[in-house]
Chain A
């Protein structure tokens, strides 16, 4: 009996443990919906919305109008943000959708239907848009994420929209016939980015400007604006240097026509330029490598770029208007002379194309004498940690006759436990700082606001740029660089 009971229970248990594996968790991929067109009845065209319905003021669409179109621009590269552009046979229009990464649902080539009742037509300086409730300044708002599917119906993918291939001259100035093409895909052949901009970045960083105008020309010299967003993922990429085709969305800002790229692949400029020349791209090197290019006499730099963080600049430091100090992850620094007045500030992260610039010694300090203007702001508010040195080591290094072997020059250093002395009691001018190992000059220009401040006489720690003006000197950036 007991044995029977026991084996019965064991059997029941084993079967319950295994056979009733009722918890199922493997999932199939859902079926493909990308080849389904719901075939909604379309009773209006984009051109009808833009030309007939739109009053010049935000206009509520209060009738059951359905349009359809193919997406010709999405936000994948970040050049468009919270909007897509669709095109039908009549025209094209921007649609404002309040979400990022719209391309995952509405990629270029997807057909969509829009049930317009309840939406508004408005414009952004002439560029007509479909969106939601206008604000006080008559700008349309985006259709909120969770309302999108109420108005926008997805259809099949992919579809190809052939761009209209025309010369720049046909749309350079707005007229009755090309107005319809706003919001549609346009292709120019045999055009190039201007000589001054070719190879430079597509756009400046958004912290400088939300968008940057670049100029594209055909070989006859007719030019048109290419407007690139400071938020686009390709903003720091170099623009092509050759000649070829450009596919983009026609847009306007006031009465100026400007072209909007979807991505860098819209520029297929591989052929030699109109004048037959070829510009080769520059190579990104560290400041350490750059310094090592110097062989005792000034040289003209080849195709190079450097990058780094501003350790001192006119904006908030103690140096002349036209120059800045840059330091990178190689731990080396360099002085760059631009001339004029520099806008970059402490902590800005820069990428600088130095091709064709000079690398020279100026009053004993290695500097880049900058003629070109291909500087890109990559980021800001970066911090640099100073390296701690003794005055003896610092002077020895800065006096090294092999300039490329200097490791502290133009770099942020920290001198611990030194005393400041001088003829006057304020920071202004040359002061002597002394630590246990030696003494050297700390120089303060007469322009910074703290220049009249009295310096402390007790031992301090000094964070400063190691520099040379005929002889070694250090340059503090602000009073916070001097700490007890």
Chain B
């Protein structure tokens, strides 16, 4: 690696200057003569590419003098090729008229391919993949059959590109980094439902250079949601579907860039369902967006605001026993009847408005400076039921299960009774919970035994980014940028509904049990004047996490006739600390106030080389290495209770390499890539109730090493002018390559952590998880898609997807010496404790189609630019209801009764449809 870098550096110092110029053009619809938006324009031999803007304009800069073939691609289809030549500073390709392709401007997929998945499961909202919108731009990504299959075909089945966690996928919006500093992922929910205005995106998988940042090692997405980039006109969309929501309307109006240099864009949307396809779920989401932009001669300024107030009832994973009792894989334990009406206990509420002010300036003909500042604030919360000195209200609590009964006859009796009365025994009994509170009140005690609470995370984020891009000469483009992010997350519990009681008591019921009689041990906050809490009050825990991250990156991209190469580096600084707002009775010395600040310095470097055999065949190899700061959740032992940290938090070390072959012939386009990535010294803290310690515990794994390796392939074969076949597949192996050490830190244990800030664990253990698979979705995937494009403005596509090797998440406690203590090696029980389960392989068939109508053909009075577009989609056409999306072992493990805490699963929905009607004028 070092030798390659030296070589590249040497090369870069002997670059010769050559003459180059700019070339521009405009694309219009042949029939309407209106600007043609979002057409990919490529100069294959110069290996540059751009996309036409809302006015149909495109331009390239720094093109060496010479003659070129220029191709125009719509929806992955090369529709036109012309010859151009660059002979001076400014060349003009003129106005190019292209035939309208029906599906070009319609997003024929819904934005919720990810949302429905997330609903079927209970994974966090960040699990949303970047599903659902048209892919364009960037040579590597446009027309890439693999990316398209991964996003549209497999994304909804929790497929993860290269097996990477979401924090390896980086998203920039209008030039500002959007990845969360706490968990690393992107919170798509804060702007979901506004597809019309977030269509301008570029995607880049892997290590190729990005324009505004160093990028992640996975998928790099850059969204352009500026006002001038929105296509002029008004569009109204209605969608009917049977996913997590049933109805959607969107209304968007864009001014386009007006003669006075102004542009504005407005969009609103609403998605709703009284009940989604899974029982007990509902959906109620708005979206709003407004942007205004002013273009001056050499610069422009854009202000954008976006928000998506969302409220929806969730569904959750369950055990096989519950699926059997309920008779359906879509059993949802989160709802129950209240006075005869369905009520969901887990309601997600989210609203986090985002403001971005961005500015771009052309400093000279070769240099562009962009700067942006964003501010986002708001709250995301999920409701739940909390209880004090009451029975567990969850219908799937293990002690209520037939499997908990000692005698087979009682188990059978329970099974029969529960099956016969599913609404009573498999769902939450809201009426009983209200009655418990009422009886308490009648006995003179106004304290609620049961309440509905909210787990709240309030966020304030300030992001700044400044980037400079300069074409130093004909062969060299230099990029550099700095970014600064500051984030404060406020975490607490809030009383939402006292359910008929008068108040809730802010006391620690676990401490009241295990420190019975010790004064103040059960006080959650010693500073409380009154432990009584009303609706809207904070209780349970209350702390802030403060984050700061800054980074500087620099990158050189060098293009020559036969080869390209690039070199990029980044230096980063991260710090975070906890600030407790409660002084707890168990941890009076470590719970309140600021913790020590954790500071990490990181570096990353990458480089790559592309050899161009000719304009159609490319070979490339890219490599990267660097370090990454651990996430706060994996450093602070128990953020909800105290400031103390794990001993010796370390930087993660990442090294990765990819190599591939790219073919771009007129009839066959394809890409094949192999990759290997090593992650070392990662840490992970899992928190759960331990039967050994009879307490909530924090299980910290340190020294986790992982390897991700595989091959991915995508090809697009033009069978005839109308028929196209896409083939895509990937085979990945993501697995652990070390035996991490595990420390368990018990909550509700005062003296252990009171006197010092470093925690003392109950003992260090080794987890034997080497060569277990990283639970990262299906690790083998295949898609074949046949697509027909009619000249008469309609298209249809049929795809077949096969997904396999989805390995379940496993409990480290089982893979320790004590987990298999006294169990005979290689016995059935030994295997049932240790073996990692694989979820069943499956296939699906999807069908899409669409047609576009020119309205004034039917209604003479309508404007000539009025179009009506109909799109329909049918996914999982064979209605396979046995697809497991994901599964995970219960972290709670009882050696004597390993069956008490079986794994939980979530299933993908059966056949789904959408009908999308779009009117634009």
Binding site for B on A (CB under 8 A): 1-2, 5-6, 9-10, 13, 16-17, 20-25, 27-34, 76, 98-102, 104-105, 107-110, 132-133, 135, 141, 144-147, 149-150, 157-158, 201, 205, 233, 235-237, 284, 307, 309, 327, 329, 331, 349, 351, 376, 378-379, 382-385, 387
Contact = CB atoms under 8 A, between A and B. Distances in A.
A237 B751 CA distance: 22
A383 B417 contact: no
B516 A233 contact: yes
A384 B754 CA distance: 9
B66 interface: no
Contacts of A17: 249, 268, 270, 286
A104 B385 CA distance: 15
A395 to B, nearest CB: 22
Nearest to A100: B391
Interface in B424-471: 424-425, 430-432, 434-436, 438-440, 442-443, 449-450
Nearest to B390: A101
Contacts of A25: 282, 284, 311, 313, 347
Interface in B254-297: 268, 270, 272-274, 282-284, 286
B591 to A, nearest CB: 13
Contact of A385 (B409, B410, B756): B756
26 contacts: A1-B863, A5-B921, A6-B921, A17-B249, A20-B272, A22-B272, A23-B273, A23-B311, A27-B338, A101-B449, A104-B432, A104-B440, A107-B439, A133-B407, A144-B405, A144-B410, A149-B424, A157-B439, A158-B443, A329-B589, A349-B515, A378-B518, A379-B514, A379-B516, A382-B749, A383-B749
Contacts of A331: 755
Interface of B: 234, 236, 249, 251, 268, 270, 272-274, 282-284, 286, 311, 313, 338-339, 341, 343, 347, 389-391, 399-400, 404-407, 409-410, 413-414, 417-418, 424-425, 430-432, 434-436, 438-440, 442-443, 449-450, 499-500, 512-519, 588-589, 749-752, 754-756, 760, 762, 861-863, 919, 921
Contacts of B338: 27, 30
Contacts of A309: 751
Contact of B410 (A10, A107, A133): A133
Contacts of A32: 438
A236 B516 CA distance: 6
Nearest to A382: B751
Contacts of B513: 233
Contacts of A384: 751
Given A27-B341, A158-B442, A387-B755, A378 B435 contact: no
A34 B438 contact: yes
Given A31-B339, A145-B399, A99 B391 contact: yes
Given A9-B236, A144-B410, A385 B863 contact: no
B823 to A, nearest CB: 25
A379 B511 CA distance: 11
Contacts of A146: 400, 414, 417-418, 425
Contacts of B589: 329
The 9 A-B residue pairs with the shortest CB-CB distance in the complex, in nearest-first order? A236-B517, A104-B436, A23-B284, A30-B339, A101-B391, A30-B431, A101-B390, A13-B251, A236-B516
B516 A235 contact: yes
A107 B862 CA distance: 72
Contacts of A22: 272, 274
B508 to A, nearest CB: 13
A105 B436 contact: yes
Per DSSP, chain B at the interface is mixed
Contacts of A284: 519
B751 A135 contact: no
Nearest to A76: B389
A201 B512 CA distance: 16
A336 B407 CA distance: 50
Nearest to B521: A378
Nearest to A206: B516
Given A376-B517, A385-B760, 4 more contacts: A29-B500, A104-B436, A147-B417, A385-B751
A203 B292 CA distance: 73
B443 A107 contact: yes
Given A22-B272, A27-B341, A30-B339, A1 B439 contact: no
A158 B338 CA distance: 23
A214 to B, nearest CB: 16
A327 B750 CA distance: 12
A95 to B, nearest CB: 16
Contacts of B760: 383, 385
Contacts of B417: 146-147, 150
B689 to A, nearest CB: 15
A141 B405 CA distance: 10
A105 B921 CA distance: 63
Interface centre among A233, A329, A376 (most CB of B within 10 A): A329
B431 to A, nearest CB: 4
A145 B429 CA distance: 13
Given A16-B249, A146-B418, A385-B760, A378 B390 contact: no
Contacts of B389: 76, 101
A376 B518 CA distance: 11
Contacts of A376: 517
Contact of B413 (A21, A147, A327, A329): A147
Contacts of A351: 517-518
Contacts of A110: 439
Nearest to A13: B251
Contact of B750 (A145, A233, A329): A329
Contacts of B436: 104-105
Contacts of B434: 29-30
Contacts of A144: 400, 404-405, 410, 414
Nearest to B234: A6
A35 to B, nearest CB: 10
A378 B513 CA distance: 9
B588 A329 contact: yes
A1 B518 CA distance: 79
Nearest to A383: B752
Given A9-B251, A351-B518, A105 B432 contact: yes
Contacts of B750: 329, 382
A16 B270 contact: yes
Contact of A104 (B273, B391, B399, B424): B391
Contacts of B418: 146
A82 B701 CA distance: 38
Contacts of B438: 32, 34
A147 B760 CA distance: 45
Contacts of B390: 101, 104
A236 to B, nearest CB: 3
Nearest to A376: B517
Nearest to A2: B863
Given A16-B270, A379-B514, A383-B751, A29 B499 contact: yes
A10 B413 CA distance: 59
A34 B282 contact: no
Contacts of A379: 514-516
A284 B286 CA distance: 57
A13 B235 CA distance: 11
A104 B449 contact: yes
A351 B519 CA distance: 10
B236 A13 contact: yes
A132 B406 CA distance: 12
A201 B752 CA distance: 26
Given A30-B339, A30-B431, A34-B435, A10 B251 contact: yes
Interface centre among A145, A233, A309, A387 (most CB of B within 10 A): A145
A236 B756 CA distance: 29
A387 B754 CA distance: 12
Contact of B512 (A30, A150, A205, A233): A233
A10 B252 CA distance: 10
A28 B391 CA distance: 23
Contact of B435 (A1, A5, A33, A149): A33
